[in-house]
């Protein structure tokens, strides 16, 4: 039994046993459903082996939504535990595990795939391309992310969850204080997913720089494409730091090296520095694409062009540069000295300036606009005051002297969530609603969508505003309970009520998807929002090749000019189109990476060696494979275009 003991949960509970049963039943139900409806072949041909950027984007989206609810359950449990003083719902160990996994799931396995989902679906369409630069690499990127997420999510039923916080600081993350394999899961799962993200960064930088439609110069790109380009530039610079840091942490835990130990020449603060050299740019990897979405939505529903296009681009470039110069503000209280703290305090406050430029640009776009309040626009309008509140409290935290009071309190938790939820989650929900008809061929219900938006906005305020006050009053973060005499009970109960309101809002979104799938009209045009950029110039549903004829671009709003000024977007005749073939290798390689990661987590060296050989075998297979893609003939294009014109 000694061999199997390593897979046991160190701190089991009825909730974990129930989760095991639920996972088993879900897996069996999926297998039974696919078998009963004879969908195994369809699943393999159309999804598991696809290299189509649109389908890959939808798979990222489904993964992100699943992780949203996985992380949301964690959040409800955390707020329930703190809702009353001296609560016994969770013990200290379970609380540590839940807040550790909540942070990782929400940032790396929910927000990241959400933005990459929209990048995958939208960017090639916005720049008039037929696919990304490296379609098979794009598929591999997804499967590495997905397998990393799945590896991380089995930790709480096999071996135990990470319990050293989402930042996994050493020495807390070392073997002495984190004895279970939970932190191994953290190191390996994020490593696998991070390699996929780095591939995505390289792929989309190449796509945007090399595959734009004729006439689309850099300064004629839509704002979401600009934000995606800068985001992927940050990814390419930041994620290698994370890769190296996680490798060093893994070696400390599994091979007894001393990079981050407190003795034998190690330096625990090295982890904090390296983590945040990646971690703070990561915040802008999330927020910049969100800014791009808001720019698209606000200009569409204000019925006017985006105010200050060049200043928007310049502010994003400035943010990307400054994002690498502020990392030490995450540990002002850790003793690096007044001079260092002052320098990073200045850079932290400086980064608020280009962000403020964007807020004024959106407000000036709305000024004198013919505003149409749709669900995506409602999210965008609610974002501005809520995000401004979160951003202003960030400037407060940027003052190093004041940060000594704020840093380890619920004030910081409130600030972070008041930035990320309005800044990223609202944008992702706006983008989801905005691009849903292009993805699936029908609109989401507007009435249900607006109810959900209001509930999520109200829930956000009710959940996190009390934390500002309890934090200023001294409530420490990461504490699993508190005494009644502190007076924190009322603040935490209000926060719990707000979390429940948030949960109702997200449940409404699920209901909206169900309701609209059943009852929404499929008789919609290819441009139901009367939008302005190229992704709405193609058919709905989007054909495999995106554009039968590559568009000719004359401005930043090519479709709007075609509709209002008579510009001709599509010139010339149909020609045969070269497209890549589907491939099962990325999926198989992702599965091997999952087995490789699992073997690494538990130190099973023979399976690790075998799976490593399998990974290199897949790479060799691709190197020697003669796959030059295929051509779609003119006849096929004409037939598809005739059919889609009739549908629209």
Evaluate if residue 560 carries a pLDDT over 80. yes
Return the percentage of the chain with pLDDT > 70, whole number: 99
What digits encode the pLDDT tens for the residues 63-110? Answer: 999 999 999 999 999 999 999 999 988 889 889 999 999 999 999 999
Which domains are assigned to the chain?
A: 1-286 (1.20.210.10)
- Reply yes or no: is the peptide bond before residue 541 cis, omega within 30 of 0: yes
pLDDT of residue 648: 57
For the ranges 373-377, 565-569, 574-578, which has the lowest average pLDDT?
A: 565-569
Q: Which two tokens stand for residue 391?
A: 């951003």
pLDDT of residue 297: 96
pLDDT of residue 77: 94
For the ranges 2-11, 423-432, 639-648, which has the lowest average pLDDT?
A: 2-11
Q: What is the mean predicted confidence (pLDDT) over 373-395?
A: 94
In order, the DSSP letters of 104-142 are: HHHIIIIIHHHHHHHHHHHHHHHTT-SS-S-HHHHHHHH
Residue scoring higher pLDDT (461 or 556): 461
CA distance 260 to 172: 10
pLDDT band at 52 (very low <50, low <70, confident <90, very high): very high
What digits encode the pLDDT tens for the residues 259-287? Answer: 998 888 889 899 999 999 999 999 999 99
Evaluate if residue 411 carries a pLDDT over 50. yes
pLDDT band at 1 (very low <50, low <70, confident <90, very high): very low
What digits encode the pLDDT tens for the residues 455-513? Answer: 999 999 999 999 999 999 999 998 999 999 999 999 999 999 999 999 999 999 999 99
pLDDT of residue 330: 86
Q: Which of 12-16, 291-295, 339-343, 554-558 has the highest mean pLDDT?
A: 291-295
Residue 100 contacts residue 165 (beta carbons within 8 Å): yes
**Which residues are within 8 A (CB) of 315 and not within 5 positions of it... i.e. 6 or more apart?**
354, 355, 357, 358, 361
CA distance 275 to 230: 21
Evaluate if residue 438 carries a pLDDT over 60. yes
What digits encode the pLDDT tens for the residues 35-44? Answer: 999 999 999 9
Give, in order, the Cα–Cα distances in Å from 488 to each of 204, 413, 467, 469, 473: 47, 15, 9, 9, 8
pLDDT band at 2 (very low <50, low <70, confident <90, very high): low
CA distance 489 to 104: 27
pLDDT band at 3 (very low <50, low <70, confident <90, very high): low
Computed over every residue of the chain, the mean pLDDT equals 92
Residue 138 contacts residue 203 (beta carbons within 8 Å): yes
Q: Tell me the pTM.
A: 0.95
List own/partner pairs for 38-46 with CB under 8 A and 24 or more apart: 44/584, 45/582
What digits encode the pLDDT tens for the residues 315-326? Answer: 999 999 999 999
């Amino acid at each position: 039994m000694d061999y199997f003991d390593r897979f046991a949960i160190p701190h089991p509970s009825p909730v974990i046993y129930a989760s095991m049963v639920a996972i088993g039943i879900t897996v069996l139900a999926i297998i039974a459903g696919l078998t009963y409806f004879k969908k195994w072949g369809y699943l393999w041909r159309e999804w598991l082996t696809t290299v189509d950027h649109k389908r890959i984007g939808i798979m990222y989206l489904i993964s992100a939504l699943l992780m949203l609810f996985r992380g949301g359950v964690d959040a409800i449990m955390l707020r329930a535990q703190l809702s009353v003083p001296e609560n016994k719902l969770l013990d200290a160990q379970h609380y540590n595990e839940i807040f550790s996994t909540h942070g990782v799931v929400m940032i790396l396995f929910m927000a990241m795939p959400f933005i990459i989902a929209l990048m995958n679906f939208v960017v090639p369409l916005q720049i008039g391309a037929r696919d990304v630069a490296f379609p098979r690499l794009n598929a591999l990127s997804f499967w590495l992310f997905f397998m990393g997420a799945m590896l991380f999510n089995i930790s709480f039923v096999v071996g135990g969850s990470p319990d050293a916080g989402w930042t996994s600081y050493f020495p807390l993350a070392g073997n002495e204080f984190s004895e279970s394999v939970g932190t191994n899961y953290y190191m390996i799962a994020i490593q696998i997913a991070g390699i996929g993200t780095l591939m995505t960064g390289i792929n989309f930088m190449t796509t945007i720089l090399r595959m734009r439609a004729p006439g689309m110069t850099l300064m004629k790109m839509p704002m979401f494409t600009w934000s995606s380009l800068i985001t992927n530039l940050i990814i390419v610079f930041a994620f290698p730091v994370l890769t190296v840091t996680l490798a060093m942490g893994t070696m400390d835990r599994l091979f007894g090296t001393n990079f981050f130990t407190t003795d034998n020449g190690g330096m625990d603060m090295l982890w904090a520095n390296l983590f945040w050299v990646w971690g703070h740019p990561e915040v802008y990897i999330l927020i910049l694409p969100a800014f791009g979405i808001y720019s698209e939505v606000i200009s569409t529903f204000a019925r006017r062009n985006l105010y200050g296009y060049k200043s928007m681009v310049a502010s994003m470039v400035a943010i990307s540069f400054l994002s690498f110069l502020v990392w030490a503000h995450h540990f002002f209280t850790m003793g690096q000295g007044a001079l260092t703290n002052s320098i990073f305090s200045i850079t932290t406050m400086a980064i608020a300036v280009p962000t403020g430029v964007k807020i004024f640009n959106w407000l000036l776009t709305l000024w004198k606009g013919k505003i149409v309040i749709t669900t995506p626009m409602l999210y965008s309008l609610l974002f501005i005051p809520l995000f401004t509140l979160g951003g202003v409290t960030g400037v407060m935290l940027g003052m190093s002297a004041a940060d000594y009071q704020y840093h380890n309190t619920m004030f910081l938790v409130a600030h972070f969530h008041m930035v990320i939820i309005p800044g990223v989650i609202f944008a992702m929900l706006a983008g989801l609603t905005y691009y849903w008809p292009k993805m699936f061929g029908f609109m989401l219900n507007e009435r249900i969508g607006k109810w959900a938006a209001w509930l999520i906005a109200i829930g956000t305020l009710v959940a996190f505003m009390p934390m500002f006050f309890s934090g200023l009053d001294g409530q420490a973060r990461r504490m699993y309970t508190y005494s009644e005499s502190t007076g924190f009970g009322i603040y935490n109960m209000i926060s719990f009520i707000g979390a429940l309101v948030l949960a109702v809002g997200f449940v409404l979104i699920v209901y909206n998807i169900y309701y609209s799938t059943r009852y929404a009209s499929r008789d919609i045009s290819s441009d139901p929002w009367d939008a302005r950029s190229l992704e709405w110039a193609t058919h709905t549903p989007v054909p495999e090749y995106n554009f039968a004829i590559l568009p000719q671009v004359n401005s930043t709003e090519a479709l709007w000019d075609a509709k209002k000024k008579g510009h001709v977007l599509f010139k010339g005749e149909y020609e045969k189109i070269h497209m890549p073939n589907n491939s099962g290798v990325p999926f198989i390689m992702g599965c091997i990476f999952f087995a490789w990661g699992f073997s690494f987590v538990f130190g099973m060296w023979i399976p690790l060696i075998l799976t490593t050989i399998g990974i290199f075998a897949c790479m060799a297979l691709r190197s020697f494979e003669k796959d030059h893609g295929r051509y779609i003939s003119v006849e096929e294009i004409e037939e598809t275009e005739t059919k889609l014109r009739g549908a629209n």
